[in-house]
Amino acid sequence: MAKPRIAILGTGNMALALGKSIMAAGHFIAYGSRRPETKNDFHEAAGTESRIWGYQAAIDAGEIVIITLPYKEVAATARKFAESLSGKIVIDITNPFAAQPNNGQSGAQVTATAIGEDARVVAAFKTNFAATFEQPSDSTGEPREVHYAGDDEEAMTAVEELIKEIGFKPIDCGTLAEAVVLDHMVPLMIRLDATEHASSHKSSWRITAP
Ligand SMILES: NC(=O)c1ccc[n+]([C@@H]2O[C@H](COP(=O)([O-])OP(=O)(O)OC[C@H]3O[C@@H](n4cnc5c(N)ncnc54)[C@H](OP(=O)(O)O)[C@@H]3O)[C@@H](O)[C@H]2O)c1
């Protein structure tokens, strides 16, 4: 069976890290950019078999859409393209930081509300540093974990599969509402990476065996 085509909105650090990993796993990738005509260097780095288009064309080309924008852009973008995002699996990797507490909602819930009816949002990759994607196993040889959470069973299974395909270990963290915990883990992750690993940006979370 053909692997689902992936749209990635944004052409920054996480777009590049995720896009390269997912393309190496055999998926078609279309990046969505505000100014695709200026992204030649990114295109070289990402692999020229990928495509870089505007947001609408990228969304239309993807069966799964990954949002890798600054958090402040996410709700407005989801609202603007709601009709096209509705019914598609949308992976929200963005981190609200100062925009928390969102009235207690997770960032991914806010994204789902912006898309509206038939939103199928999964929160994932929020707690993984971009620099870790080139090395899916850590220095102990164990695969790094990816926390993911959502309400749509089929979307959760598709994201679980994607995480496995790029060599990481999926960790189901519950519902979209429960994804608020992942949002809060990110500032802690950055702090612990600084205090425990000299701001390597290459550390990752692990739940260990009892
Ligand atoms: N870096 C990490 O390790 C990491 C890890 C987990 C999650 N995240 C989250 O992932 C998201 C992306 O992070 P990133 O490090 O990849 O960020 P980044 O390098 O700054 O990339 C963000 C991309 O979003 C697009 N964009 C759209 N509107 C923008 C605006 N007003 N200002 C700047 N860029 C805009 C840009 O692509 P175009 O110019 O092509 O439009 C830009 O390349 C953030 O929400 C972050 O919290 C980051």
> Where do the domains of the chain lie?
6-197
Distance from the alpha carbon of residue 77 to the mean position of ligand 1, in angstroms:
13
DSSP string covering 136-173: SB-TTSPBPEEEEEES-HHHHHHHHHHHHHTT-EEEE-
Q: How many angstroms separate the CA atoms of 98 and 23, rounded? A: 32
2: three-class secondary structure by DSSP: coil
Q: Which CATH class is domain 6-197?
A: alpha beta
Distance from the alpha carbon of residue 45 to the mean position of ligand 1, in angstroms:
16
The sign of the torsion formed by the CA atoms of 176, 181, 187, 189 equals negative
| Residue whose pair of structure tokens reads 């600084």 in the numeric block | 194
pLDDT confidence of residue 99: 76
Best substitution site from 11, 14, 188 to test ligand 1's pocket, by max atoms within 8 Å of Cβ?
Answer: 14
Percent over 90 (pLDDT), the chain: 96
Q: How many angstroms separate the CA atoms of 137 and 143, rounded? A: 4
Mean pLDDT in residue range 108-137: 98
Whether the model clears a pTM of 0.85, i.e. scores above it, the answer is: yes
- What are the tokens at 4? 């689902």
| Residue whose pair of structure tokens reads 């799964």 in the numeric block | 64
pLDDT(14) > 80: yes
Best substitution site from 21, 68, 94 to test ligand 1's pocket, by max atoms within 8 Å of Cβ?
Answer: 68
> Which strands, in side-by-side order, build the sheet including 29-32?
51-53, 29-32, 6-9, 64-67, 89-92, 120-124, 145-150, 169-172
* pLDDT tier for residue 49 given thresholds of 50, 70 and 90: very high
